[in-house]
Chains A and B, each alone.
Chain A
Amino acid sequence: MERSFEKYFRQNRLPHLWCPGCGNGIVMKAIVQAIEKKGLDQDKTVIVSGIGCSSRASGYMDFDTLHTAHGRAIPFATGIKLANPELNVIVITGDGDCTAIGGNHFIHGCRRNVDLTVVLFNNSIYGMTGGQASPMTPTHKKATTAPYGAIDRNFDACRLAEAAGATYVARSTAFHVQHLTDMIAGGIDNKGFSFVEAICQCPTSFGRKNKMADPAKMMMWMRDNAVMKAAWDKLPDDKKTEEKFPIGLFYNESETDYATAYNEVIQIAGGADK
Chain B
Amino acid sequence: MNSEITIKLPRCKGCGICVAFCPKQVLAVDELGKVMVVNADACIACGQCELRCPDYAIFVDKKVKA
Contact = CB atoms under 8 A, between A and B. Distances in A.
A111 interface: no
B52 A20 contact: no
Given A177-B51, A216-B20, A216-B21, A20 B56 contact: no
Contacts of A16: 55
A29 B19 CA distance: 20
A14 B56 contact: yes
A215 interface: yes
Say which size band chain B's interface belongs to.
Answer: 10 to 19
A3 B58 CA distance: 11
A25 B20 contact: no
Contact of A24 (B14, B15, B54, B61): B54
A1 interface: yes
A214 B14 CA distance: 12
B15 A21 contact: yes
A20 B54 CA distance: 8
Contacts of A248: none
A164 interface: no
Given A15-B10, A20-B13, A177 B56 contact: no
Contacts of B57: 15
Contacts of B21: 216, 219
Contacts of A178: 51
Interface in B9-55: 10-11, 13-17, 19-21, 51-55
A26 to B, nearest CB: 5
A46 interface: no
A217 B21 CA distance: 10
Given A3-B59, A16-B55, A177-B52, A21 B11 contact: no
Nearest to B54: A25
Interface residues of A, number: 28
A15 B13 contact: yes
Contacts of B20: 214, 216-217, 220
B63 to A, nearest CB: 12
B30 to A, nearest CB: 14
Contacts of A21: 13, 15-17, 54
Given A21-B16, A216-B17, A15 B54 contact: no
A190 B61 CA distance: 34
B55 to A, nearest CB: 6
A252 B62 CA distance: 38
A204 B56 CA distance: 19
B15 A215 contact: yes
Interface string A80-109: 000000000000000000000000000000
A26 B52 contact: yes
Interface of B: 10-11, 13-17, 19-21, 51-57, 59, 61
Interface of A: 1, 3, 6, 9, 14-16, 18-26, 29, 174-175, 177-178, 203, 214-217, 219-220
17 contacts: A9-B56, A14-B56, A15-B10, A16-B55, A20-B14, A21-B13, A24-B54, A25-B56, A29-B56, A175-B52, A177-B52, A214-B16, A215-B16, A215-B54, A216-B15, A216-B16, A219-B21
